[in-house]
Structure 1
């Protein structure tokens, strides 16, 4: 059995990974590029831990617009293919802020219309669901094809380190804060994903953070450190493939 990784878990217990409301529905190959299609907010999945699995229209619009903005700002990202409002006026209850609230935490519940976003990427393979040969096939096919697996994995880790570095540098360049950059929100391919508690800095604040529960460890200036923690999670997971005496890249 695997061990929970608590260093980059927002709750410090290894159980704070995702709300389980995304589900992949298929793949297409267009001009030699493979695209995976994934619904966000389509309902309960085996991984939603008792939640309703839905997304509301407000957050779905934010993800659609933000992912397209990041793409056109030159930052690697998943992209939004479509957004549909749930038929029949289905609503979901979510925490929100009353007009009198001046605190960071929501103080009331409201009902909001549900929506479903279809997002696309070459893959949605996340760090916490690593399958080594599948990751090589989907995200790093040019890493020493035909070589022994340990050599290919070492090459993959070197490329992943570069991709993570370029990604986070892009975030800092455009003033973007992902807000919850744990291993669940870190794609092996090194692209922006999961526009939940994100935001762009309007006035420079190194501790800018959009999620009320994030503390400072996911703040704007600490994203490189969070990225390093995610990379180390990936590297440690690859250690059995590399061999007990292999130095981590």
Structure 2
């Protein structure tokens, strides 16, 4: 809750565990005064983060009635008392044309150099993943935070990707490769963990095909769980009649 605000407590963590609704309200009043906040969303976001921290620290959520009480105080009392701005800021997003322009520059016109040109392929894949899933960079590239359980970072890895061969609609076409990407972490994962799985199909436009880039990197890194997976074997594989995919 802030060492300055809890300066009179010998044990701030213990004080947080036993904090009442009144103490939380006092904290947020102090928080507004110290930070000179102008927007309501700044307060509500900090309250959500504090609740997430509480849940992670004590392995239990803040009491629901207490949480609603504090949130109402923020949204009503503090909003009116400090004339906090409640308007929503515009959040412009990329459209398809923007994405194509970015990828064209990346592949053809970007003067940047890489220690390993493999990285250029990886950057292109990450751009496509971010665009197709609507994910923030921290959801797919967070290598700072390490889970206590297994020492793994929160970045997307090969273990989060599954590849399937799927029968084509016509017999004359080759089998299609489909990729399933599960993002284990996203916005608010500390507050409410909810992995999401996205399905990627082959795109005839290689500029926009994440499946082609996944395969290119996987073959380069020998990342397949099954041994002996080669490009030719993948293209010549057969799916049993009783199945639609393998």
Name the structure where strand makes up a greater proportion of residues.
1
TM-score by length of 2: 0.24
Determine which structure has more spread, i.e. the larger CA radius of gyration.
Answer: 2
TM-score (norm 1): 0.23
Higher relative contact order (CA 8 A, sep 6+): 1
User: As a proportion of its length, which structure holds more helix?
Assistant: 2
